[in-house]
Amino acid sequence: MSPSNAEAKISDGSNGVERRERLTHTINSLIKLRQNVVVAYCKLSGISSFESRDAETHSIDPDQLRTFCQIMVDYTAMGHFEVYQRIIEGKERRKAVKEVAREVYPAIAETTDYLVDFNDKYDAFEGTADEMQQLQGDLAKLGQIISIRGELEDQILAALEQK
pTM: 0.81
Residue 89 resides in a domain: yes
Cβ within 8 Å of residue 94, ≥6 positions away? 159, 160, 162
In a domain, 31, yes or no: yes
In a domain, 52, yes or no: no
Quote the pLDDT of residue 25.
93
Q: Is the pLDDT of residue 136 over 70?
A: yes
Note down the domain range covering 92.
16-47+58-161
Q: Is 153 exposed, middle or buried (0-12, 13-18, 19+ CB in 10 A)?
A: buried
Q: How many domains, the chain?
A: 1
Q: Does the pLDDT of residue 143 top 60, yes or no?
A: yes
Give the count of alpha carbons within 13 A of 137, CB side only: 4
Q: Residue 90 is part of a domain; what is its CATH number? A: 1.20.120.1370
Q: What is the mean pLDDT of the chain?
A: 86
Domain assignment present for residue 34? The answer is yes
Residue 53 lies in a domain: no
Residue 143 to residues 37, 109, 111, 119: CA-CA distances in angstroms?
10, 16, 11, 14
Question: Does pLDDT of 10 surpass 50?
Answer: no
Is residue 153 within 8 A of residue 147, CB to CB? The reply is no
How far apart (Å, rounded) are the C-alpha atoms in residues 38 and 57? Answer: 19
Q: What is the percent of the chain with per-residue pLDDT over 70, rounded to a whole number? A: 85
Residue 4 counted as domain residue: no
Q: Are 80 and 26 in contact (CB under 8 A)?
A: no
**pLDDT, tens digit, for every residue of 43-67?**
898 876 555 555 555 678 899 999 9
Higher per-residue confidence, 90 vs 29 = 29
Using one digit for the tens of pLDDT, what is the confidence trace for 64-103? 999 999 999 999 999 999 889 888 888 888 999 999 999 9
> Could you tell me which of 58, 40, 29 has the C-alpha nearest to residue 119?
40
